[in-house]
């Protein structure tokens, strides 16, 4: 009887260590603090993103998606639920950013001293490649800053643009759009 109980306890502890259904673990990964600085080309940036955030659920720090090409498969980002710092999306050419499970951007660090979410210059002037959709379907409570020119003008009822005098301070709640679409 005693050996059977010890085996059950051992089995339980092993399942916790493996992260099985008994233990409710979540994948935590480090954020970055590079801002607009990049090393290498778009392919190198993509590989770095993939290594950092594949199956990641919680980003401890900043989620910086910078200089990623138009062919990049960013579906691996779909698992991210929380970012403790800021989200920076800049100088990319992909058409959609799939963060459907992102629920919280805590903003413990902010970009440029004031932004928890900052999206800018996501287009290629020599082609039609541009960011057209932000798939933040679960995210509420923060505002979104989108550059209004020279990028294609997005169609969005609940967006504020960088030249809009109504741009709210970070502490003011504002619902972000579930998708952002642009026309080129």
Domains of the chain: 27-182 (3.80.20.20)
- pLDDT on residue 100: 93
Residue 154's pLDDT band (boundaries 50, 70, 90)?
A: very low
> How many C-beta atoms lie closer than 10 Å to residue 20's C-beta?
12
Helix (H, G, I), strand (E, B) or coil at 24: coil
Report the distance separating Cα 120 and Cα 31, nearest Å: 19
Residue 13: enclosing H or E segment and its boundaries?
Answer: helix 2-18
User: 65 pairs with which residues across the strands?
Assistant: 89
Residue 173's pLDDT band (boundaries 50, 70, 90)?
A: very low
Residues 119 and 131 sit within 8 Å (Cβ to Cβ): yes
Q: What is the DSSP string of 121-152?
A: --B-TTSS-B--EEE-TT--SS--EE--SSSP
- pLDDT on residue 25: 65
42 contact partners, CB below 8 Å, separation of at least 6: 67, 68, 69, 72, 93
Q: What are the φ and ψ backbone dihedral angles of 9, each rounded to 5 degrees?
A: -65, -45
CA-based radius of gyration for the chain: 20
pTM of the model: 0.67
Say which residue, 134 or 144, is predicted with more confidence: 134
pLDDT at 104 over 80: yes
Residue 168's pLDDT band (boundaries 50, 70, 90)?
A: very low
- pLDDT on residue 172: 36
- pLDDT on residue 107: 92
Residue 66: enclosing H or E segment and its boundaries?
Answer: strand 63-66
- pLDDT on residue 2: 57
Q: Could you read off the pLDDT of 50-81 as tens digits, one per residue?
A: 999 999 999 999 999 999 988 999 999 999 99
């Amino acid at each position: 009887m005693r050996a059977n109980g010890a085996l059950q306890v051992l089995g339980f502890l092993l399942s916790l260590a493996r992260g099985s259904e008994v233990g409710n673990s979540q994948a935590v990964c480090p954020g970055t603090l590079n801002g607009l600085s990049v090393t290498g080309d778009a392919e190198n940036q993509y590989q770095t993103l993939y290594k950092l955030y594949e199956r990641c659920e919680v980003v401890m720090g900043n989620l910086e998606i910078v200089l990623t090409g138009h062919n990049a498969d960013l579906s691996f980002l779909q698992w991210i639920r929380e970012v403790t710092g800021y989200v920076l999306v800049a100088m990319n050419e992909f058409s959609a950013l799939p963060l459907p499970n992102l629920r919280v951007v805590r903003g413990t660090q902010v970009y440029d001293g004031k932004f928890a979410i900052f999206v800018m210059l996501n287009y290629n002037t020599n082609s039609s490649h541009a960011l057209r959709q932000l798939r933040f379907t679960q995210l509420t409570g923060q505002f979104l800053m989108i550059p209004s020119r020279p990028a294609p003008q997005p169609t969005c009822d609940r967006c504020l643009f960088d030249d809009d005098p109504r741009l709210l301070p970070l502490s003011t709640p504002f619902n972000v759009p579930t998708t952002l679409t642009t026309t080129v």
